[in-house]
Amino acid sequence: MARRLKSLDELRRLPAVSAAPAPGARKAAVAVAPVRVLGIDPGSRYTGWGLLECRGQRSQFLAAGRIVSTQGAMPERLLTVFEGLCAVIAEHRPDEIALEETFVNRSNAQSALVLGQARGVAMLAAARTGLPFAEYAAAQVKLAIAGHGRADKQQIAQMVKLLLKLQAAHSEDATDALAVALCHAHVRGTISQGHPALKGSW
């Protein structure tokens, strides 16, 4: 079964460092094992995904794309999302998965309900792998990427491009998914360095 990361303390316990000090070395040699993080931005019509390789506080872009599910009734569209994410996971073999939480729009409950269905399918695709996964609110992602929780999509896209040194343009959905992956990598890297500052901010 998938292991949902319910707290930063649980994330802290995930393995991130592997190496033993060399005999006779003055300082312990520490090698940070690479971790592949798959970020997912679920949607009923377009589901973005982005894959990063993380080493400590460094993140490298590997791949990104989106799953198009605009045809058919809702059951068929949800199946498209599920099968698409399963294919992405099977192809790229991430170590951890991060999803963006659903923003509840009280003025449009129907849209929130549909988005929640797509998010549930994304969670199912993650759960069947047995991989650990985490969830982040939109404001958390914006805070991690742009430094404040009210950044707009253009600001987030610019920061993602800058932080990952992207050359090619990606869809808005894929960019949002990369932002989710970067958020998870940021939390993971900060904790691995022993900094507890995020506890009061997230």
Determine whether the annotation assigns residue 41 to a binding site.
Answer: yes
**The two structure tokens encoding residue 51:** 């894959």
| Spatial distance between the Cα atoms of 126 and 117, rounded to a whole number of angstroms | 14
Residues serving a catalytic function are 41, 100, 173
Determine whether the annotation assigns residue 9 to a binding site.
Answer: no
What lies within 8 Å, CB to CB, of 138 at 6+ separation is 100, 101, 103
Determine whether the annotation assigns residue 96 to a binding site.
Answer: no
- Enumerate the known binding-site residues for Mg(2+): 41, 100, 173
- Enumerate the known binding-site residues: 41, 100, 173
